Structure 1
Amino acid sequence: MTDETTTTSVRAEAVITRYRGLICDLDGVLYRSATAVPHAVQTLNRVTAQGVPVVFATNNASRSPQDVGDHLRRLGLTQQGCSVVTSSQAAAAHLAQRLAPGTPVCAVGGPGVAQTLTEAGLTPLRVADLGDTPVQAVVQALGTDVTWSELAAVGHLAEAGATWVATTIDLTLPTPYGQAPGNDALVALVQTSTSAQPHVVGKPQTALFDLARSRLGTDQPDTLVCGDRLDTDIEGANAAGLDSLFVLSGACRLWDLALAERPARPTYVAADLSGLLAPALPLHPTPPDHPAELGPDALPRVPSAGDNSKRLQSVLTTAWAARDNGRHVCDHADLWERIERQLGLAQPEHTTHHTRPSAPSKARH
């Protein structure tokens, strides 16, 4: 077989056929609020029908895995071969390895936090129920009804020496009305009153990926992560040593991806989850001497020939090569939108631009 034939064969292979298990994000990947992302449910039903198990890994700790599963069924997802893990489960697993069974743990956040602590063999207590009961740990998660008193209690407990676990430090949370403050804002409020630092288990930390992979029973090379956020899904996948597929159906756009630093660059990119069934075109790291063909506007030139997937691959590898060589790449979102239109990448109506994460808060460290 010639080298050319081998290359063609590899490119014709669907992305998912290279892996034995899939870790998939939810909001922006499978659904947006209550509405399924086009092609997402059908694609995942085909993936599981092919015998590839899927674990949905979400930073949203406010809902229980059962509630998430009910949502997925309403969207039409076949549940066979699928399961859900949340950042509150990762927090509970972290504490269960370090505390004796039945140990009281303060639970702050949505109902999913207390439920997962109970399932892990610990005793969750709400702030209102603490009384004089000593607790060895406190789990802080996002919840729509979290109060000032609860946040103050987290700070008091952490300052007194209790293990402080934050489910996530997401900067924002998608809602039907746009982006809202995420758990990072609540963690930052607590940090104003304590010198303690939380242990974070949600993405981009590796704990949630490790928990998901243990559910799949797969090794690192056999596991693929799919997500729509560079700062959580893709950075976390890279930190966990896992390949990733970045989809442009959610929070981040081509502009964000083209300007991403190396830790936030995915293995593959696609418009949506249907990219799992498309030919695999890895975004291989470019050598330092790669000729980065930028136009006078500091934008990569869009090839006139080839399908949109190969043209997208060319645009991204050119932008990354230019940045790695210290060259300026245009950061005007409007001009990148023009490239998206050239490549046939539809814009979700809810998406806002300039979504690249700001400098990490001190909680990340």
Structure 2
Amino acid sequence: MGETTTTSVRAEPVITRYRGLICDLDGVVYRGATAVPHAVETLNRVTAHGVPVVFATNNASRSPRSVGDHLRGLGIAQQGWSVVTSSQAAAAHLAERLAQGAPVCAVGGPGVAEALTEAGLTPVRVADLGDTPVEAVVQGLGTDVTWSELTAVGYLVEAGTIWVATNVDLTLPTPYGQAPGNGALVALVQTATSASPHVVGKPQAALFDLARSRLGTAQPETLVCGDRLDTDIKGANSAGLDSLFVLSGASRLRDLAFAERSSRPTYVAADLSGLLAPGLPLHTTSPDHLVELGPDAVPRVPSAGDNGTRLQSVVTMAWAARDEGRAVSDHAGLWATIERQLGLVQPKLATQQTSRSVAGH
């Protein structure tokens, strides 16, 4: 890339290079009932400029309608976006394999049963299993999932019933910290059985494909934004899509520095406002992006440039050093210091009781 082209690309906002955006929710747009700083105004500007957004979430507990109400309540504009969930991806997967109206055990929040109904299948709650044999079971996140329900899933899948997990995220970001995600509950069932589920949520392709079908965009025209390297970013790479990794949720800068190639994003930013900022893909190098490893084996933070450019410099240096076999320190305190130098703010934890921690999900 020539100097003129590099300067031109750097000067234009990242989102102008794409015709559609697939955006994660938890840790990117909101944490519980609270909006992530800069998220609402950024998304409203994106849709106002004609770039459609599909919010694609692994959180299967709520229906798209409920999620939409939440987003509008935060101030997201009325039009220009839609919501797809991993429950819908699970239901679509089974609808292609089962007869219309087939009974499916639904474990999780209301979003699971609603997605099955929407896909032409018949959801059956665990309490009704004695009267209705089922052909499959969908396990998704729910704040009221019980030991009895997990036990029932175990009995069904051990007997050979088709088992679909909406996602296997071990944790879920909340305003109070990390809460157990659906993956933790799926792991409980796996521990007690010899079965393994078919997973449709990120990083698998099914949810990305469903979202992109809503956008009507080709792969090179689609950008994914997320806060998890192991789901959002790895999944985007697997689906052949560019991605923006934001440091407003689950994964931190140290995680990004040590990411394997399969989980490295195209761009990085502190939060969603990075969509409106200029920036080069992380794999692009130029003289002003070159920094050195300090004596503590972490990249030196450049003194010049804006925080976005300095952040990119730190990440590219860490990746280059690791790819060349040089030692890079993984000391948490050192990386936390770099985050502070770059103006990155850790998600705040509230002091209220954790019993309220999932109220907004």
TM-score category, normalised to shorter length: over 0.9
Deviation of residue 292 (structure 1)? 7.4
Deviation of residue 181 (structure 1)? 1.4
1:172 aligns with 2:171: yes
Counterpart in the other structure of 2:67: 68
Contact map agreement 2:291 2:313 (CA 8 A) in 1: no
Gap change, CA 1:214 and 1:127, over 3 Å in 2 = same
Q: Percent identity, please.
A: 83
- In structure 2, give the amino acid aligned to 1:258: A
Aligned pairs for 1:1-365 within 5 A:
3-284=2-283, 293-350=292-349
Gap change, CA 1:185 and 1:199, over 3 Å in 2 = same
Q: 2: CA distance between counterparts of 1:110 and 1:100?
A: 24
Q: 1: CA distance between counterparts of 2:284 and 2:147?
A: 47
Deviation of residue 132 (structure 1)? 4.0
Gap change, CA 1:161 and 1:54, over 3 Å in 2 = same
**Greater shift after overlay, 332-341 or 13-22?**
332-341
Contact map agreement 2:176 2:348 (CA 8 A) in 1: no
Deviation of residue 348 (structure 1)? 2.4
Q: Deviations over 1:232-258 (max 9, x none)?
A: 111111111110001111122211111
- In structure 1, give the amino acid aligned to 2:277: A
Q: Which runs of 5+ in 1 are unaligned?
A: 352-365
Contact map agreement 2:173 2:249 (CA 8 A) in 1: no
Q: 2: CA distance between counterparts of 1:175 and 1:75?
A: 16
Structure 2 length-normalised TM:
0.92
- In structure 1, give the amino acid aligned to 2:68: G
Structure 1 length-normalised TM:
0.91
| Structure 1 runs (4+) greater than 6 angstroms displaced | none
- In structure 1, give the amino acid aligned to 2:219: Q
RMSD value over aligned CA atoms? 1.9
- In structure 1, give the amino acid aligned to 2:283: H
Deviation of residue 77 (structure 1)? 0.4
Q: 2: CA distance between counterparts of 1:265 and 1:285?
A: 13
Contact map agreement 1:292 1:319 (CA 8 A) in 2: no
Gap change, CA 1:350 and 1:262, over 3 Å in 2 = farther
Deviation of residue 175 (structure 1)? 2.9
Count residues with an aligned counterpart.
Answer: 348
Q: Deviations over 1:131-176 (max 9, x none)?
A: 2422111001121211222112111211222110001111112234
Counterpart in the other structure of 2:359: none
Deviation of residue 260 (structure 1)? 1.2
Gap change, CA 1:245 and 1:291, over 3 Å in 2 = closer
Deviation of residue 285 (structure 1)? 6.7
Contact map agreement 1:178 1:350 (CA 8 A) in 2: yes
- In structure 1, give the amino acid aligned to 2:128: D
Q: 2: CA distance between counterparts of 1:345 and 1:148?
A: 40
Q: 2: CA distance between counterparts of 1:313 and 1:176?
A: 27
Q: 2: CA distance between counterparts of 1:322 and 1:4?
A: 24
Deviation of residue 79 (structure 1)? 2.6
- In structure 1, give the amino acid aligned to 2:303: S
Q: 1: CA distance between counterparts of 2:162 and 2:347?
A: 40
Contact map agreement 1:23 1:57 (CA 8 A) in 2: yes
Contact map agreement 1:292 1:321 (CA 8 A) in 2: no
**Greater shift after overlay, 252-261 or 304-313?**
304-313
**Greater shift after overlay, 89-98 or 181-190?**
181-190
Contact map agreement 2:58 2:85 (CA 8 A) in 1: yes
- In structure 2, give the amino acid aligned to 1:217: G
Q: 2: CA distance between counterparts of 1:240 and 1:342?
A: 34
Contact map agreement 1:26 1:56 (CA 8 A) in 2: yes
Contact map agreement 1:292 1:322 (CA 8 A) in 2: no
- In structure 1, give the amino acid aligned to 2:130: G
Q: Deviations over 1:287-338 (max 9, x none)?
A: xxx9873111001122222222222211111100111122221111211122
Q: 1: CA distance between counterparts of 2:184 and 2:346?
A: 28
Counterpart in the other structure of 1:363: none
Gap change, CA 1:232 and 1:155, over 3 Å in 2 = same
Q: Which runs of 5+ in 2 are unaligned?
A: 351-361
- In structure 2, give the amino acid aligned to 1:40: A
Gap change, CA 1:178 and 1:307, over 3 Å in 2 = closer
- SS at 2:192's partner residue? coil
